[in-house]
Amino acid sequence: MRTGNWIPPDVDTNTPSIARIYDYWLGGGHNFEIDRATADKLEGNMAGVRQSVRLNRAFLARAVRYMASQGVKQFIDIGSGIPTVGNVHEIAQQVNPEARVVYVEREPVAVAHSDLLLAGDEQSAMVHADMRDVEGVLGSPQVRRLIDFDEPVGLLFLLMLHWLEDSDDPAGLVRAYQEPLVPGSMMAVSHLTDDARREHITEMTGMMVEHRAGEPIPRSHDEIVALFGELELVEPGLVGCGNWRPAGPGDVTEDSQWNQYLYAGVARKP
Ligand SMILES: C[S@@+](CC[C@H](N)C(=O)[O-])C[C@H]1O[C@@H](n2cnc3c(N)ncnc32)[C@H](O)[C@@H]1O
Instruction: Examine residue 9 and state whether it is found in any structural domain, yes or no.
Output: no
What is the rounded CA–CA span in Å between residue 267 and residue 24?
A: 30
In ligand 1, the atom with minimum distance to the C-alpha of 81 is: 27
Instruction: Examine residue 5 and state whether it is found in any structural domain, yes or no.
Output: no
In ligand 1, the atom with minimum distance to the C-alpha of 157 is: 6
pTM, entire model:
0.95
Distance 82 CA to ligand 1 centre (A): 9
8 A C-beta contact, residue 91 and residue 61: yes
Q: What is the CATH number of the domain that holds 95?
A: 3.40.50.150
Q: What is the DSSP letter of 256?
A: H
Q: Is 106 in the pocket of ligand 1 (CB under 6 A)?
A: yes
What is the reported pLDDT for 256? 64
Instruction: Examine residue 106 and state whether it is found in any structural domain, yes or no.
Output: yes
Instruction: Examine residue 11 and state whether it is found in any structural domain, yes or no.
Output: no
What is the reported pLDDT for 9? 80
In tens digits, the chain (270 residues) has pLDDT values of 344 677 888 788 899 999 999 999 999 999 999 999 999 999 988 888 888 899 999 999 999 999 999 999 999 999 999 998 789 999 999 999 999 999 999 999 999 999 999 999 999 999 999 999 999 999 999 999 999 999 999 999 999 999 999 999 999 999 999 999 999 999 999 999 999 889 989 998 999 999 898 999 999 999 999 999 999 999 999 999 999 999 887 787 666 677 788 999 999 999
Distance 199 CA to ligand 1 centre (A): 25
What is the rounded CA–CA span in Å between residue 220 and residue 226?
A: 10
What is the reported pLDDT for 254? 62
8 A C-beta contact, residue 136 and residue 129: yes
In ligand 1, the atom with minimum distance to the C-alpha of 56 is: 8
Q: Is 12 in the pocket of ligand 1 (CB under 6 A)?
A: no
What is the rounded CA–CA span in Å between residue 244 and residue 228?
A: 16
Between the two ends of the chain, the Cα-to-Cα distance in Å is 50
Distances (CA, A) of 265 to 93, 110, 136, 166, 230: 22, 25, 27, 20, 14
What is the reported pLDDT for 48? 82
Q: Is 214 in the pocket of ligand 1 (CB under 6 A)?
A: no
Closest-CA residue, ligand 1 atom 14, reads 79
Instruction: Examine residue 3 and state whether it is found in any structural domain, yes or no.
Output: no
What is the rounded CA–CA span in Å between residue 152 and residue 120?
A: 25
What is the rounded CA–CA span in Å between residue 71 and residue 251?
A: 23
Phi-psi label, residue 169: left if phi above 0, alpha if psi -120 to 50, beta otherwise: left
Max distance between CA atoms of the chain, in angstroms, equals 50
Domain with 239, as residue range(s), is: 18-268
* 1: helix, strand or coil: coil
Number of Cβ within a 10 Å radius of residue 190: 26
Q: Is 131 in the pocket of ligand 1 (CB under 6 A)?
A: yes
In ligand 1, the atom with minimum distance to the C-alpha of 190 is: 8
Distances (CA, A) of 241 to 28, 59, 113, 114, 192: 21, 7, 27, 25, 10
What is the reported pLDDT for 178? 98
Instruction: Examine residue 193 and state whether it is found in any structural domain, yes or no.
Output: yes
Element (H, E) at 125: strand 124-128
Domains of the chain: total: 1
Distance 173 CA to ligand 1 centre (A): 15
- DSSP helix, strand, coil percent of the chain (3-state; round to 5): 45, 15, 40
Instruction: Examine residue 84 and state whether it is found in any structural domain, yes or no.
Output: yes
Q: Is 217 in the pocket of ligand 1 (CB under 6 A)?
A: no
Instruction: Examine residue 252 and state whether it is found in any structural domain, yes or no.
Output: yes
